[in-house]
Amino acid sequence: MKIAVSATAPDLDALVDPRFGRAPYFIIVDPDSMQFETMENSSGSAPGGTGISVAQAIVGKGVQAVLTGSCGPNAYEVLSAAGVQIIAGVSGTVRDAILSFKQGKLASTPAPDVPPHFGRTDELTSGH
């Protein structure tokens, strides 16, 4: 099994990034062996559509579940269309998030939990 976790830095002790599309890294972990690979998210500064492209990249990695702080409607649509389990509202370190997941403490998020453009920090400068 492969689990992708949005992260603020490229290792298991990094904090879970509260954003999905704008997270700087994803840690892709095998929860049984705790072996992991990191995926850098280069679309963090793109004007829009980042949730979609990141979700597609994660699907391409063969991931079965995503742990993150929040997930907007477009990313949610792509991930759920590919059958990826989405668990939002996750915080703490990547390692702890994986452990909680293994212990069955985390429940799937049934719908997008934030509006579009949630993770944008420059929303005041309209990005048309």
Nearest approach, Cβ of 80 to another protein (angstroms)? 10
The residue range among 5-13, 48-56, 86-94, 104-112 that interacts with another protein, by the rule CB under 8 A, is 48-56
On whether the CB atoms of residues 16 and 68 are closer than 8 A, the answer is: yes
* Residue 41 binds to another protein (criterion: CB under 8 A): no
Q: Which of 8, 10, 15, 52 is in the footprint of another protein by CB under 8 A?
A: 52
* Residue 81 binds to another protein (criterion: CB under 8 A): yes
* Residue 50 binds to another protein (criterion: CB under 8 A): yes
- 115-120 long-range contacts, CB within 8 A, separation 24+: 115/72, 115/73, 116/72, 116/73, 116/74, 117/48, 117/72, 118/19, 118/70, 118/72, 119/18, 119/19, 119/20, 119/21, 119/22, 119/23, 119/50, 119/70, 119/72, 120/22
Whole-angstrom Cα distance, residue 101 to residue 121?
29
Q: Which of 82, 93, 99, 120 is in the footprint of another protein by CB under 8 A?
A: 82
Over the window 89 to 128, marking each residue x when it contacts another protein by CB under 8 A and - when it does not, the resulting string is: ------------------------------------xxxx
Residues that bind another protein (CB under 8 A): 43, 46, 48-50, 52-53, 55-56, 59, 74, 77-78, 81-82, 125-128
